[in-house]
């Protein structure tokens, strides 16, 4: 039977969705990131031009998004490891909220340093 968003609308499920989306986004980003770093060896001038482009505000905003995703994925991953390897803790929803708050805080700290 088709089940809509309905029964999935609870914090632990949203945490799972965010963890999967952020994990996939990071996996897509990583090869691009490594390719750009490799330019330091292959073509330093092109790397410099690229780095100049990344100074733009739009790129900075996109980077902040990636930083938030990485922080959210790390917090979510640590939360899952704690859930599965430590004795059960009743405060699962509080932990999800703390993880989300951590991710947002890391993103804001990045933005403060970026401009």
Partner 1 sequence: MDAAPSPEGELTVEIWRGGADGRFRTYRVPRRRNQTVLDAVTYVQRHIDPSLAYRFACRVGVCGSCAMTVNGAPRWTCRTRVERVARRGRVRVAPLRNLPIIRDLAVDMTPFFDKWARAKGHFVPSAAGTQGFAEVAPDSPERRAADAGVECIGCGICYAVCDVVAWNPDYVGPAALNRAWTLVNDVRDGDRAGHLAAAAAGAGCHACHSHQSCAEYCPTGLNPTASIAGLKRMAFVAALKGAP
Q: List residues binding ligand HEM (CB under 6 A).
A: 19-20, 23-24, 26-27, 30, 73-74, 77-78, 80-81
Query: Which residues neighbour 60 within 8 Å (Cβ) at sequence distance 6 or greater?
Result: 54, 111, 114, 115
2: left (phi over 0), alpha (psi -120 to 50) or beta: beta
50 binds, among ligand HEM, partner 1, none (CB under 5 to 8 A by kind): none
Take residue 52 and report the two structure tokens written for it.
């100049």
Query: Taking CB within 5 to 8 Å according to partner kind, which of ligand HEM, partner 1, none is near residue 61?
Result: none
Residue 7: name its binding partner from partner 1, ligand HEM, none (Cβ under 5 to 8 Å by kind).
Answer: partner 1
């Amino acid at each position: 039977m088709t089940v809509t968003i309905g029964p999935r609308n609870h914090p632990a499920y949203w945490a799972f969705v965010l963890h999967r989306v952020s994990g996939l986004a990071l996996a897509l980003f990583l090869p691009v990131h490594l390719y750009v770093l490799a330019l330091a060896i292959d073509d330093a001038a092109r790397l410099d031009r690229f780095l100049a482009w990344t100074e733009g505000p739009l790129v900075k905003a996109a980077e902040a998004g990636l930083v938030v995703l990485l922080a959210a994925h790390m917090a979510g991953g640590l939360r899952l490891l704690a859930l599965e390897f430590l004795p059960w803790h009743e405060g699962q929803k509080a932990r999800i909220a703390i993880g989300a708050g951590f991710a947002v805080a890391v993103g804001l700290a990045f933005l403060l340093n970026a401009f």
